[in-house]
Structure 1
């Protein structure tokens, strides 16, 4: 794993740097593999990044968009990660509808929809059961509790080692989420973190020794690149 930590002066610089990195990764993935697969994060931090990507002139037919996790709500719900990404980015560009791969959230149950999405991923990537595909880019954030995607502290989702997709749980509210092993198979994982409230979580995530069940972002140790892009408020204690 190649791990890089960058602390940017402010949120604006964080977004500018994120855009630079993501565009470079998209370009190299398309050069090397003929397409780019990217999984998006929800939350407020990446939204301006998506708005900035929407202004780029990219080969949209070669970009496939996924999500690292999703709340179990319809896409038109204000809490939907898919809905946010569509309004900030995907509805504004000429990307083929078949290149957008949202997590299903309107089926019989979260577990049935998690299985359905897992089958969709296996079909898209051509992997068999027991194999993990490698997405080119996975964007992640962290919560004040050090969760990432919908991998929350001391929840069953943290134990899942043999699946691509599982059900996360936030205070009894189901989510659908990539598993830690799927995230760890990515070519590049990029954490975007802003705000002073994230400092205590980051201290534990970066500590030499801490419990990954309590601080789930510690589980993310990808085989490819790991980039932590932080604004100054979040990364103050991590400046070297």
Structure 2
């Protein structure tokens, strides 16, 4: 479903309200909720809004959609971003499941993440101008593995252009999430998404979610 908002402020309010409502419903029905979040600059304001939201955070598990394989104190770390902007205020009581393992290789960290994987109730995704979502990059040498129907939950991906090796949820893992929310901004990304909706195309990996019938996904967009 497409949700269009008039401004960044209106978009963040509506998106935070949607996420909180879904989390509360899951908490009422199951007693716990697992939320997977993405990094980057776009979700910072959303994280800050959610951190102030009255949710049963002690029964919430927060994990990452993907991670640059750098220590949490590195400026490019998604874990560092989430700890700084989301896991404060009311949300400080949530349980966090990171992907970086100090002293471990990225492949050892991938194995540990798959061993500790929790089924995801709600995942918040972004999208790059190249049509990638999570760390499913067009042209990545591991892309076919990450798109395979029976792929592991987490995989190691090497971006063709972007810095840092990545750990990412596979397409199969994303499709098993209870619900997906894609948050994008600006006219360029709107145009890319409209193109991706036309057909499944490895040149636009997000198309495997938005052009696939039966995927439970909402898109929130503002200029």
Q: Is the Cα–Cα contact under 8 Å of residues 157 and 179 in structure 1 kept in the other structure?
A: no
Greater relative contact order (Cα < 8 A, sep 6+): 1
Match of 2:165, SS? strand
Q: How does 1:138-217 map to 2 (within 5 A)?
A: 138-155=123-140, 156-160=142-146, 161-170=150-159, 171=161, 173-207=164-198, 209-211=199-201, 213-217=202-206
Q: Which residues of structure 2 form unaligned runs of 5+?
A: none
Aligned counterpart for 2:115 among listed residues 71, 96, 119: 119
Please name the residue that 1:39 is paired with.
36
With 220-229 and 37-46 compared, the bigger mean Cα shift is at 220-229
Given the alignment, which residue of 2, 6, 14 partners 1:5?
2
> TM-score, with normalisation over the residues of structure 2?
0.89
Say if 1:120 and 1:35 are closer, same or farther in 2 by CA, change over 3 A. Answer: same
Question: Does the Cα contact within 8 Å between 2:34 and 2:62 map onto a contact in 1?
Answer: yes
Structure 1 vs Structure 2 CA RMSD: 1.9
Structure 2 counterpart of 1:75: 72
Q: Judge conservation of contact 1:158–1:179 (CA < 8 Å) in 2.
A: no
Q: 1:110 aligns with which of 103, 106, 111?
A: 106
- Deviating beyond 4 angstroms after TM superposition, the runs of 4 or more aligned structure 1 residues are 221-224
Contact residue 151 and residue 168 of structure 1 kept, 8 A:
yes
3-state SS, counterpart of residue 147 of structure 1: coil
CA contact (8 A) 1:186 1:222 kept: no
**Aligned counterparts of 2:177 and 2:7: Cα–Cα separation in 1:** 27
Aligned partner of 1:130 in structure 2 is none
Give, in whole Å, the separation in 1 of the partners of 2:128 and 2:215. Answer: 23
Q: Of 36, 57, 61, which residue of structure 1 is paired with 2:58?
A: 61
